[in-house]
Amino acid sequence: MIDPVTQEILSGAFSSIAEEMAVVEYRSSYSPIIREMLDFSCGVFDAAGRLIAHSEMIPAQLGLMQSSLQQGLAKHHRDGLRRGDVMLTNHPYLGGTHTPDLQVFTPLYRDGRIIAWAGSVASVPGGGGKAAWPTVSITAMQSMARIAPLAIAKMIRTVCMIPFFTLALRAPLR
């Protein structure tokens, strides 16, 4: 059990980290969706993928980020991840909102083990769908390619991109 004063200090510290992440993302973005609409959020998650703190952009996205991160951890057990691995997803049926919202998770290490995750979700239009905005799409596959949770650096190291393409393609491979 943690005393209330320490809990408030830690809560403020983690909230400040999430807010600073949002400031960095905002300032480094060229997208008007991020710069003008503030359609992004940042969060800090514990090693199990539970939300600890979030930025004050669109907090509703973060509840879904927790689910996406936990789906990714189930697929890529955290012991199987190495330094430099980053998880990426936008899959609406695996914890995502809709396909234009890309979610990125970076593990944070201490003494060689993952102790937390830093995450961000941002809306990215024009990802190969039927139209720049998914309002004219009838199915999820028409709005943008679906990306199941991927460990990007691991995928690049192993050069196994077949699972990515089989989930992202609009027609199955023959």
Asked if residue 60 belongs to a domain, the reply is yes
Asked if residue 164 belongs to a domain, the reply is yes
Instruction: Report residue 50: phi and psi, to 5°.
Output: -85, 140
Distance CA 44, CA 68 (A): 14
Handedness of CA 50, 56, 57, 60 (dihedral sign): positive
Beta bridge partners of 112: none
Question: What pLDDT does 101 receive?
Answer: 81
Question: What pLDDT does 17 receive?
Answer: 95
Question: What pLDDT does 173 receive?
Answer: 44
Question: What pLDDT does 116 receive?
Answer: 94
Question: What pLDDT does 82 receive?
Answer: 76
Alpha carbon 38 to chain centroid distance? 16
Contact 17, 53 (CB under 8 A): yes
SS3 (DSSP) at 82:
coil
Question: What is the secondary structure of 84-134 as a DSSP string?
Answer: T--EEE--TTTT-S-TTEEEEEEEEEETTEEEEEEEEEEE---SSSSSSSG
Mean pLDDT by 10 residues, the chain (174 residues): 92 94 90 85 93 83 83 76 81 75 89 92 67 58 67 58 54 46
Distance CA 20, CA 144 (A): 30
Question: What pLDDT does 2 receive?
Answer: 87
Question: What pLDDT does 172 receive?
Answer: 47
Asked if residue 13 belongs to a domain, the reply is yes
Asked if residue 173 belongs to a domain, the reply is no
Distance CA 38, CA 43 (A): 15
**CATH code at position 49:** 3.30.450
Asked if residue 51 belongs to a domain, the reply is yes
Question: What pLDDT does 174 receive?
Answer: 45
Distance CA 55, CA 116 (A): 16
Question: What pLDDT does 94 receive?
Answer: 77
Asked if residue 174 belongs to a domain, the reply is no
The verdict on pTM exceeding 0.85 is no
Instruction: Quote the domain boundaries for residue 58.
Output: 4-168
Tokens of 170: 């609009």
Distance CA 50, CA 164 (A): 26
Count the domains in the chain: 1
